Amino acid sequence: MSARNPGIELDLGWVSRVRVNHPAVLRRAQKIQSWKLVKKGWQAAWLLRAVTCIDLTTLSGDDTPSNVQRLCLKAIHPIRDDLLKSMDMDDKGITTAAVCVYPARVTDAVKTLKTAKSNIPVASVATGFPAGQTSLKTRLEEVRQAVEDGAREIDIVINRTLALTGQWEALYHEICQFKKACGEAHMKTILAVGELGSFTNVYKASLVAMMAGSDFIKTSTGKETVNATIPVAIVMVRAIRDYFWRTGHKVGFKPAGGIRTAKDSLIWLTLMKEELGDGWLKPDLFRLGASSLLADIERQIYHYVTGKYAAYHELPMA
């Protein structure tokens, strides 16, 4: 992970001046989605880059120690060794960026990765994920417990009510408390953009989250009706850019929810390159929150190497 974002004092003047040009954002999004994507060898290389930026995730009510263990082993070996060898990439240590689980499964993930002698971090969702509607005391305790159990990254959810009613000072102070509870763990702040009502609210919430010390801002829990979309991403990454220009602090970006295909991952990488530059094209500053994306990327790499498409049973979870 890159240097932490220390945050700054809440600047309500900056927040109040925010105005987002809705039609301009939609035009830019349309342009990005119409670009021709890289092909062949370049595409395979970009897909491997995407793999290294994935937070391989399971957030299901039926999660068990065994399926978390399988997820961790897949994170360590995300692409079949024979495929990597064909691309001369078998000695590059390609893994996913992190494994993301519920707080109750952190211990299982940490134990599996430690046994496998892997340094892949465990990320835990927290603060009453996905709705964030539990008491502040409970949400803070959940963060502390996940860190105590070994999570090195915490994905918090904001209180959407505070954002929707313009209570930016209260939101700032809540996020500051979550940051303190994270200790040495990096904090990703989930905005749940599908529930914020407008691009202007998304931009303001992004700013407040960064001012409060978020190391990443994340689009969604993956549980909302609307999750990661290109227009919302443009709003968020431009808030990141403005924050960097104003403070010198780099904040990461994590789209999550509905990112399922290799083509999707290429579009997201292209957006980051065009909007924030090559410096953000690494797991320190860019993550893809996904559960099924890796399977499609591995299928596309199998096709690149063999010229054939694999059946899904040929590329098992672990």
250 flagged as catalytic: no
Residue 295 pLDDT exceeds 90? yes
pLDDT at 244: 98
User: Does 198 map to a domain?
Assistant: yes
User: Does 107 map to a domain?
Assistant: yes
User: Does 112 map to a domain?
Assistant: yes
Average pLDDT of every residue of the chain = 95
Rounded Cα distance, 5 and 210, in Å? 8
Residue 119 · residue 97 · CB < 8 Å:
no
198-221 pLDDT, tens per residue?
Answer: 999 999 999 999 999 999 999 999
Give the list of residues 6+ apart from residue 195 with CB closer than 8 angstroms, or none.
160, 164, 224
Rounded Cα distance, 207 and 247, in Å? 12
User: Does 316 map to a domain?
Assistant: no
Q: Which candidate, 79, 66, 55, 101, places its Cα nearest to that of 295?
A: 79
Q: Name the DSSP class of 36.
A: P
54-83 pLDDT, tens per residue?
Answer: 999 999 999 999 999 999 999 999 999 999
254 flagged as catalytic: yes
153-194 pLDDT, tens per residue?
Answer: 999 999 999 999 999 999 999 999 999 999 999 999 999 999
Residue 309 pLDDT exceeds 90? no
User: Does 251 map to a domain?
Assistant: yes
- Average pLDDT, stretch 1-17? 92
- Residue 166 sits in a domain whose CATH number is 3.20.20.70
User: Does 2 map to a domain?
Assistant: no
The residue from 111, 218, 263, 282 that is catalytic is 218
pLDDT at 207: 98
97-146 pLDDT, tens per residue?
Answer: 999 999 999 999 999 999 999 999 999 999 999 999 999 999 999 999 99
Q: Which candidate, 202, 111, 185, places its Cα nearest to that of 142?
A: 185
Residue 190 · residue 155 · CB < 8 Å:
yes
Residue 89 pLDDT exceeds 90? yes
pLDDT at 1: 63
Residue 24 pLDDT exceeds 70? yes
Residue 93 pLDDT exceeds 80? yes
Q: What is the dihedral of CA 312, 75, 215, 261, to 10 degrees?
A: -10
pLDDT at 318: 60
For 204, the 3-state DSSP assignment is: helix
Rounded Cα distance, 155 and 188, in Å? 5
pTM of the model: 0.96
User: Does 122 map to a domain?
Assistant: yes
Residue 3 pLDDT exceeds 80? no
- Domain residues for the domain of 204 are 12-306
Residue 5 pLDDT class (50, 70, 90 cuts) = very high
pLDDT at 206: 98
The residue from 179, 188, 250, 254 that is catalytic is 254
Beta carbons within 10 angstroms of residue 311's beta carbon: 9
User: Does 311 map to a domain?
Assistant: no
**Amino acid code (one letter) for 295:** A
Q: How many domains does the chain have?
A: 1
